[in-house]
């Protein structure tokens, strides 16, 4: 019976039904209008959509179990330890950095706007560094390893990535005055939308979502972020609002003429969970062990992925530069072409 209860708890926990069940059981439906009630209602949405995505993919004969393998085993491995470490890190950062905040905000609509802009700034830097510092890429690469896009990819994370992300994001937000209650609401919105932008072609073929593509970061933008095409590499680091990508020049629209190739540029064992989870760490360890001198060993750890002590760099900046040179144009010219293409499709 204990075994069956454990299985039941896992299923209800995955689908996020616990909070909704408690409200229904209590009969106090007024709670649905509270923050806890809203989270209880929205919590099951992602798992339900994931199941619907799988069913729809199977109906159209596009579903393949292998596309969910890496995400599934990562979720199983991270089910407990990742979430516990993440919650602990958020609590630590709030407790430690609150006394150093440059000022304090209140939970009002205008401070909420400020708080969300600050959150996106913090998210941008966590995400940017995860792509540009190799030891951090080792934590983040698991999320980019799947070679297809679907809602299960939102669960594909190395267990230490969430604590690292929360260290950066929570610290910046608290130091810049975002108060904890407001931060938790922002985290919920960010987490919900951050999951939804992983929705795959089996459920939403055109991820641009119409006019929303000009206002927020859509599944289309995030599909671009997960691509290993030279044009798309290291772009769209924000989560909901593309403010900081546009400020720092990392914003990229999807070019519908260029099919997206998902996955990472390093050759991988096809659909291997172990390679997706530990492959980058092993590759880094090999480079460090072979590198001559302490300086080069250290540089392999902190330099971007693709950096080499021999000067034969394969970093994203080098790959993108070669790509644009082969086209005889720069990134701005490429982006103008994409915008013109989008306008033509809207007229059509």
pTM of the model: 0.81
Number of domains in the chain: 3
- Do 78 and 209 lie in one domain? The reply is yes
Q: Residue 118 has what pLDDT?
A: 98
Domain end call among 44, 63, 82? 63
- Do 104 and 225 lie in one domain? The reply is yes
Q: Residue 1 has what pLDDT?
A: 44
- Do 197 and 296 lie in one domain? The reply is yes
| Domain region containing 134 | 66-309
- Do 215 and 280 lie in one domain? The reply is yes
- Do 305 and 321 lie in one domain? The reply is no
- Do 250 and 334 lie in one domain? The reply is no
- Do 253 and 325 lie in one domain? The reply is no
- Do 139 and 233 lie in one domain? The reply is yes
Domain end call among 63, 85, 100? 63
- Do 259 and 232 lie in one domain? The reply is yes
- Do 118 and 51 lie in one domain? The reply is no
Segment-wise mean pLDDT, segments of 10 residues, the chain, 348 residues: 47 55 63 61 62 64 64 66 80 93 93 97 98 97 93 89 94 96 93 92 91 95 97 96 96 94 92 91 97 97 96 93 84 66 58
d(CA 291, CA 308): 9
- Do 136 and 191 lie in one domain? The reply is yes
Q: Residue 178 has what pLDDT?
A: 96
Q: Residue 95 has what pLDDT?
A: 93
Q: Residue 3 has what pLDDT?
A: 43
Q: Residue 231 has what pLDDT?
A: 94
Domain end call among 29, 47, 63? 63
- Do 190 and 289 lie in one domain? The reply is yes
């Amino acid at each position: 019976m204990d075994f069956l209860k454990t299985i039941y708890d896992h299923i209800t926990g995955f689908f996020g039904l616990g909070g909704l069940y408690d409200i229904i059981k209590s009969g106090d439906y007024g709670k649905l209008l509270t923050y806890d009630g809203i989270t209880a209602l929205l919590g099951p949405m992602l798992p339900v959509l994931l199941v619907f995505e799988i069913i729809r993919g199977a109906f159209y004969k596009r579903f393949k179990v292998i596309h969910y393998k890496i995400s599934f085993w990562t979720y199983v491995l991270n089910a407990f330890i990742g979430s516990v470490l993440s919650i602990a890190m958020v609590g630590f950062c709030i407790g430690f950095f609150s006394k150093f905040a440059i000022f304090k905000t209140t939970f009002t609509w205008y401070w909420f706007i400020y708080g969300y802009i600050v959150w996106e700034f913090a998210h941008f830097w966590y995400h940017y560094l995860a792509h540009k510092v190799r030891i951090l890429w080792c934590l983040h690469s698991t999320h980019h390893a799947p070679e297809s896009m679907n809602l299960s990819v939102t669960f594909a994370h190395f267990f230490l990535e969430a604590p690292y992300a929360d260290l950066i994001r929570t610290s910046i937000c608290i130091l810049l005055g975002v108060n904890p209650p407001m931060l938790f609401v922002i985290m919920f919105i960010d987490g919900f939308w951050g999951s939804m932008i992983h929705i795959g072609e089996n459920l939403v073929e055109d991820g641009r979502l119409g006019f929303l593509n000009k206002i927020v970061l859509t599944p289309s933008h995030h599909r671009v972020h997960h691509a290993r095409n030279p044009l798309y590499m290291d772009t769209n680091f924000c989560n909901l609002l593309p403010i900081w990508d546009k400020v720092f020049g990392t914003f990229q629209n999807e070019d519908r003429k260029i099919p997206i190739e998902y996955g990472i540029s390093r050759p991988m064992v096809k659909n291997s969970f172990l390679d997706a989870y530990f492959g980058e760490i092993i590759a880094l360890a090999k480079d460090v062990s072979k590198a001559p001198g302490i300086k080069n060993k250290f540089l392999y750890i902190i330099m971007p992925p693709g950096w080499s002590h021999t000067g034969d760099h394969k970093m994203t900046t080098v790959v993108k530069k070669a790509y644009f040179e082969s086209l005889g144009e720069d990134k701005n010219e490429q982006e103008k072409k994409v915008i013109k293409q989008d306008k033509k499709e809207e007229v059509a």
